[in-house]
Amino acid sequence: MYRPSLKSGWSLILLFIFSVILYLIAQSSYVTIKADNYEKKVEAATLMASFIDTLRAEQVRLGIPFDPIDDPDQTGLIGAARTTITTDRGSLSDKQAALNPNLAAIFVEEFSRAGLKAGDFIAVGITGSNPAVNLSLYAAIKAMELKPSIIVSLSSASYGANREEYTWLDMEAILKRRGLIDFGAAYASLGGKDDLGVGLSDDGIKALLAAMSRNGVDPLLGSTLEDNVKAREIAYAQLLPQGSRYKLFVNIGRGLANVGSEPNANQILEGMNRRLAEETFVPEGIMMVMARENVPVFSMQHAQRWIRRYNLQSTTGNMPEPGVGPAFSLKKHNVTVAAVCLVLLLAAIIAVIILDRHDRHFMSNIVDPDEEL
């Protein structure tokens, strides 16, 4: 006898349509997962953007021209190829990549992993070669409420803060006057070869000393690289309140007073260097001295590597929006919605099976006329 089944009827068509609807709902349902320290990262990135805007406005006011080709966003953070305070060749692409305001979030992430908390003292060694990285660092320091002791090697590689009238100390001073930061470099050296400005012209040396003088920053002027490293060791110790200790030394760039030598710079890992004291470096920079004093060392030399590592949006084209990107949050499928859809689908399948069995039972009680005959 033929036994009709709902599986071959409209119920299967409806079940198919219902399944497709549930799939579409689950597929299109997302939830935003915020990264650790989301608020601090957004705050740092937003600060970095405000630093750029402030310096741009000030550069316009001062009448300092922007380079329309190398600095199309008119940040003012891309210097000239060569000036009297330029010490070495620099990577233009690395400096352009560092203009990303979300670079500040990387410092927040790395410093948080290092266990830094508000009120911690850190020693900082920077150069004038990549002012955008310096600004990102400053934004992270302010957002995390850290207490920095900063020494800058003031000269710059090409395309950095290498305008004689607009050095890194001048940029820093603008941000102070506008109330955006309440800290800055306490000491400055000439930078360049041996940290003594070897190779710079007399005009270049005068321009660097004039920048230190007009910004009220004390110079560190030894007669050898070793003298300047020792002077930094003393200066960092003087800047640290009695009874406190540095929780981290931060190196930005390849300033020789920080890294010791160019071969050393190539040997030092990007990021945290917790075993630096176990390695041999000749000559030593201040970061090796700090490492032997059990101060963890963080180094950032190539911004582009960090941009790629954290999958930050490229600055090619429009300037990235602060606080947007995988470093801040990720969109993932909503597991709760998917689970509810699955339960509804299983319930629908079970309902079809039960109805089908009920229908079969009903039809089995009908007397077949052919059998009666």
Residue whose entry in the numeric block shows the structure tokens 């009709």 = 4
**49-56 CB contacts, 8 Å cutoff, 24+ apart:** 49/101, 49/322, 50/180, 51/135, 51/138, 51/139, 51/175, 51/180, 52/77, 52/99, 52/101, 52/132, 52/135, 54/174, 54/175, 54/178, 54/180, 55/171, 55/174, 55/175
pLDDT value of residue 368: 55
Q: Identify the CA nearest to 110 among candidates 310, 265, 271.
A: 271
Q: What confidence tens digit (pLDDT) does each residue in 172-192 have?
A: 999 999 999 999 999 999 999
Q: What confidence tens digit (pLDDT) does each residue in 260-279 have?
A: 999 999 999 999 998 899 99
Q: Identify the CA nearest to 249 among candidates 224, 283, 285.
A: 285
Distance of alpha carbon 229 from alpha carbon 286, whole angstroms:
6
Structure token pair of residue 363: 């039809």
Confidence of residue 373 (pLDDT cuts 50, 70, 90): very low
Q: Where are the beta strands (DSSP E) in 194-309?
A: 218-219, 246-252, 271-273, 297-300
Q: Is the pLDDT of residue 7 over 90?
A: no
Query: What is the mean pLDDT of the segment spanning 346-370?
Result: 72
pLDDT value of residue 55: 97
